[in-house]
């Protein structure tokens, strides 16, 4: 389980907060996040607890003004700083209600969601390994030769889980989900695989050939 002090890559923060990478960069560039919740040293990094603030800022945009959202972020941010060394699970029972005259905002649901998403990210990190002796060091599912990004591509393409499991019989449903989470948090680099190339480790479970139509007379 991650701690509140974990520093995430922007792509990881986007996955945990359920926003786009552009949104994460925006809250840094526009200083929407308070100081101490991100770092620009040796690449951008975002504190795990900042995902609570990021998710709140964008999810509440239709109901609250920018000023109200920034006020809540400042108030909750000052509380989160006191818990940097604690596990995220221990923050759920804290008070995350912010009051400003007639306005009352409860950020507890965002704290819980951050904790849950960080748990899944941690599990995804533990699932994936790289071995230079297997597939040239490409990320694979631990204990298999199944490429993580090939599984994630199937999920991204909208293939049913049953079909993915049939193609990769060494996996279970949880591993498929974690592979997709890992790929979302760590996007692959380089040119994507050709769509007509069968991923290594996949099994053909059905093959249907469609006869070519002849030319109309």
pLDDT score for 174: 97
pLDDT score for 90: 82
> Which region, left, alpha or beta, applies to residue 174 given φ > 0 means left and ψ of -120 to 50 means alpha?
alpha
CATH, domain 130-217, list 3.40.50.1000, 1.10.1370.40, 1.10.10.10, 3.90.550.10: 1.10.10.10
- Burial class of residue 162, CB neighbours in 10 A (0-12, 13-18, 19+): exposed
**8 Å CB contact between 75 and 82:** no
Which carries the bigger pLDDT value, residue 140 or residue 194? Answer: 140
Tokens at 121, concatenated: 């990210």
Q: How far apart are CA 85 and CA 52, in angstroms?
A: 16
Instruction: For 195-208, give the secondary structure using H, E and C.
Output: CCCCCCCCCCCCCC
Please, which pLDDT band fits residue 42 given cuts at 50, 70 and 90? confident
**8 Å CB contact between 48 and 2:** yes
Looking at residue 31, the DSSP 8-state letter turns out to be T
**Where does the chain show beta strands of DSSP type E?**
7-8, 38-39, 45-47, 97-100, 103-106, 128-129, 140-141
- Of 91, 57, 60, residue with least CA distance to 74: 57
pLDDT score for 196: 41
pLDDT score for 101: 84
pLDDT score for 4: 58
pLDDT score for 190: 58
pLDDT score for 129: 95
Q: How far apart are CA 96 and CA 53, in angstroms?
A: 11
pLDDT score for 93: 85
Q: In the predicted model, is pLDDT for residue 78 greater than 50?
A: yes
Q: 51-60, 80-89, 164-173 — which is least confidently predicted? A: 80-89
Q: In the predicted model, is pLDDT for residue 191 greater than 50?
A: no
Q: How far apart are CA 206 and CA 203, in angstroms?
A: 9
Where do the structural domains in the chain lie, given as residue ranges? 7-121, 130-217
**8 Å CB contact between 68 and 88:** no
Question: pLDDT tens for residues 133-167?
Answer: 888 889 999 999 999 999 999 999 999 999 999 99
- Of 16, 40, 41, residue with least CA distance to 29: 40
């Amino acid at each position: 389980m991650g701690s509140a002090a974990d520093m995430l890559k922007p792509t990881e923060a986007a996955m945990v907060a359920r926003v786009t990478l552009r949104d994460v960069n925006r809250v840094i560039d526009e200083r929407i996040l308070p100081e101490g919740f991100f770092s620009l040293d040796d690449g951008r990094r975002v504190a795990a607890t900042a995902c609570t603030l990021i998710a709140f800022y964008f999810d509440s945009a239709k109901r609250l003004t920018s000023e109200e959202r920034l006020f809540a972020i400042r108030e909750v941010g000052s509380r989160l700083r006191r818990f940097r060394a604690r596990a995220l699970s221990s923050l759920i029972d804290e008070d995350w209600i912010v009051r400003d005259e007639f306005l009352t905002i409860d950020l507890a649901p965002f704290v819980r969601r951050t904790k849950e998403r960080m748990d899944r990210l941690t599990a995804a990190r533990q699932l994936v390994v790289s071995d230079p002796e297997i597939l040239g060091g490409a990320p694979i599912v631990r204990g298999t030769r199944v490429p993580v990004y090939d599984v994630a591509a199937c999920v991204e393409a909208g293939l049913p889980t049953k079909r993915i499991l049939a193609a990769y019989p060494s996996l279970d449903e949880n591993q498929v989900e974690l592979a997709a989470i890992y790929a979302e948090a760590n996007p692959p680099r380089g040119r994507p695989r050709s769509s007509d190339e069968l991923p290594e480790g996949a099994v053909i479970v059905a093959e249907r050939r469609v006869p070519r139509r002849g030319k109309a007379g």
